[in-house]
Structure 1
Amino acid sequence: MKQIIQNYRTGELELAEAPVPLCSSNKILVKNVASLISIGTERSIIELGRKSLLGKAKARPDLVKRFMEKSKKEGLVKTFKEALGRLDNPTALGYSSAGVVVEVGRNIHKFSPGDMVACIGAGYASHAEYITVPENLCCKIPDGLTCEEASFGMLGVIALHGIRCAKLAFGESVAVIGLGLLGLLTVQILKAYGSKVVGMDIDPGKVELAKKLGIDYAFTSEDDFKNIINNFTTGHGADAVIITAATKSDAPVNTAVDVARYGGRVVLVGVADIHPDR
């Protein structure tokens, strides 16, 4: 079968020939019909892979810390060789797909060969012709939904997780900063929750789309965004702010702090500098 892999040391991408994975007793074997390319997460992974070792270290200080801690216990040379070995291992890309069940493990009872399923999870729902996935990372595709539509499942999960992290009560007001794909999914779920939703994005097209999808208010202007939140919360501020923007700037976080009420929750689902002005 064909599969997209990346070498993390060189950053090289390859459409490689690989054996069809074996179906173990607790997984299902799926023939992919569609797999989702994430322009956020996967682009950042690819860009990280193309950096030099020093660039990788600067981009992932958390991994450097783990490397230093392990070096103290097991020695620098041994730890360095292990790290290089991991970088040389080909890594499968992709984390959200949909397809048809080909085979099920003997401990699987929810699925049968021929079922159409949506699959999620890095290391499982890869860009490959065939994948094996645990039972809890799959669900049957409802009638009337295409595999292309169902392959967006992981993004829906991410949006839902961000909302749950905000710990909302029914009818609370929520500001959404960034109305890209994740932001628009977040808006629709929030409206289904019964929340009052105000959104902001620098792209007028995304703002108009958010309005068509039922958002209460949406703006490209930060001043208009802040004013409407102040008006309809009678000056208290939004109960929660969910940031679904991708930027190296701290502007989204500073805006979130400005519009959130005292004791409000700020959830960062996207990518931004998390050090607000104080």
Structure 2
Amino acid sequence: MKAARWYSPKDIRVEEVEEPNVKNDGVKVKVKWCGICGSDLHEYLAGPIFIPVGKPHPLTGDVAPVILGHEFSGEVVEIGKDVTNVKVGDRVVVEPMNVCGKCPACLEGKYNLCSSLGFHGLAGGGGGFSEYTTFTSRFVHKIPDSLSYEKAALIEPMSVALHSLRVGHFEVGQTAVVAGAGPIGLGTIECLKAAGAKQVVVVQRKSVRQEYALRAGADVLLDPNVVDVAAELRKLTGGAGADIAFETTGSEQCYNLLLDGLRFAGTMVVTSIWEGAIQYNPNSVVLTEKNIVGSICYCNDFPATIAMMADGRIKADGFITKRIALDDIVTEGFETLTGPEKKAQVKIIVTPDASLL
């Protein structure tokens, strides 16, 4: 079968690999669509970050080259003898988590914080940029017929956004600020609106992404090149500042702007993956008792995300800006998302099945 494999930064190859075999507790999925994630772009530009190089991943046993792709939907074509939650023919998405089940975090139910955490499509063991992939049935979720395979490929990134609200202890009626109107930022805006935010302010430089933010439900746009973001946030909130902030850009500037624009005892949730260290003044946290919390992927969030997307509470309209074939993933996918036209894109989805294009 065909698959896109990461060898090193700027070196992703579409090539023939062996079709995977299903294990007793596993499910084999024929991939319909798979989104290119920001994490994939980080690996393409500056990896390895999550990809095991030199030393095998403790759970998959694999090293690069590995098949990429973790935001995917597909059809079940085979199940192992111990699988009971899905059957052949089911329409599904995969929660792409390789976890040990034995470490303190796993035993506490916080499997997204597993000490050996790896992602299907990054840590080895297969991935969604392929014709078929297999995964443990525990993390395979059925989707309703009302949800298209295309939109279902957005469930994974939307679950990242929904989880960040939970981690930040978002409350109905709060004023929230989101830095960035990329896929995770837009997902966060939609989740905030669905969850009852009083006001959603988005920090985004002038580009078509400002339009995307408004379409997702942003109430106010602030361009950091034009206005004093922290001062504007205080104006919008009677002098206090935002109740909660979500950093989705991986930008030191935005990190500090959000922190400055938070109210006393407010919370900043950091969802972005960073390519290096940044600087900030801890006194901005100490003297105002602000909270900074990290948010990584999802933990028991897929069922809620599926339900909210299926019934329209989360619409995700306009998120998919380009559909491409697996053979074109480098030129039409990765190069587009890292080139001069990247701001025009939200989510590029990839299919190994040319008949879907």
The TM-score normalised by the length of structure 2 is 0.62
Greater CA drift, 192-201 or 142-151: 142-151
**1:219 equivalenced with 2:222 (yes/no):** yes
* 1:98-117 alignment, distance < 5 Å: 98-117=73-92
The secondary structure found in structure 1 opposite 2:227 is helix
The secondary structure found in structure 2 opposite 1:43 is helix
**1:206 equivalenced with 2:209 (yes/no):** yes
Alpha-carbon distance change, 83 to 102 in structure 1, aligned in 2, over 3 angstroms: closer
Whole-angstrom distance in 2 between the partners of 1:88 and 1:118: 25
Partner of 1:263: 265
Deviations 1:115-164 (A, max 9, x none): 11122313254311111122232222222322122112221121122222
Partner of 1:5: 5
Greater CA drift, 225-234 or 146-155: 225-234
Alpha-carbon distance change, 116 to 260 in structure 1, aligned in 2, over 3 angstroms: same
The secondary structure found in structure 2 opposite 1:187 is helix
Q: What is the CA distance between 1:232 and its match in structure 2?
A: 3.4
Equivalent residue letter for 2:222: F
Equivalent residue letter for 1:33: K
Give the root-mean-square deviation of aligned CA atoms: 2.7
Q: What is the CA distance between 1:37 and its match in structure 2?
A: 1.4
Q: What is the CA distance between 1:85 and its match in structure 2?
A: 5.7
Q: How many residues align?
A: 246
Q: Which of residues 184, 191, 194 in structure 1 aligns to 2:193? A: 191
Whole-angstrom distance in 1 between the partners of 2:18 and 2:190: 40
Identity fraction in percent: 26
Whole-angstrom distance in 2 between the partners of 1:95 and 1:225: 34
Q: What is the CA distance between 1:93 and its match in structure 2?
A: 1.0
Whole-angstrom distance in 2 between the partners of 1:3 and 1:199: 37
Whole-angstrom distance in 1 between the partners of 2:85 and 2:53: 39
The secondary structure found in structure 2 opposite 1:7 is strand
* 1:4-153 alignment, distance < 5 Å: 4-8=4-8, 12-38=11-37, 40-49=38-47, 84=54, 86=56, 89-121=64-96, 122-123=119-120, 125-153=127-155
Partner of 2:322: none
The secondary structure found in structure 2 opposite 1:16 is strand
Q: Is the 8 A contact 2:67 2:127 kept in 1?
A: no
Alpha-carbon distance change, 109 to 88 in structure 1, aligned in 2, over 3 angstroms: closer
The secondary structure found in structure 1 opposite 2:13 is strand
Larger Rg: 1
Equivalent residue letter for 2:280: P
Alpha-carbon distance change, 145 to 83 in structure 1, aligned in 2, over 3 angstroms: closer
Q: Is the 8 A contact 1:119 1:153 kept in 2?
A: no
Deviations 1:239-270 (A, max 9, x none): 111011143xx211110111101111111112
Greater CA drift, 95-104 or 197-206: 197-206
Q: Is the 8 A contact 2:39 2:273 kept in 1?
A: no
Equivalent residue letter for 1:101: V
Whole-angstrom distance in 2 between the partners of 1:170 and 1:180: 24
Whole-angstrom distance in 2 between the partners of 1:116 and 1:21: 19
The TM-score normalised by the length of structure 1 is 0.79
Alpha-carbon distance change, 259 to 47 in structure 1, aligned in 2, over 3 angstroms: same
Deviations 1:14-45 (A, max 9, x none): 2222222111121210011111112x211211
Q: Is the 8 A contact 2:53 2:64 kept in 1?
A: no
Partner of 1:79: none
Equivalent residue letter for 2:271: V
Q: Is the 8 A contact 1:198 1:225 kept in 2?
A: no
Alpha-carbon distance change, 268 to 102 in structure 1, aligned in 2, over 3 angstroms: same
Partner of 2:234: 230
Q: Which runs of 5+ in 2 are unaligned?
A: 57-61, 97-118, 121-125, 284-357
Whole-angstrom distance in 2 between the partners of 1:154 and 1:210: 19
Whole-angstrom distance in 1 between the partners of 2:271 and 2:64: 29
Q: Is the 8 A contact 2:95 2:140 kept in 1?
A: yes
Q: Is the 8 A contact 1:204 1:220 kept in 2?
A: no
Alpha-carbon distance change, 159 to 146 in structure 1, aligned in 2, over 3 angstroms: same
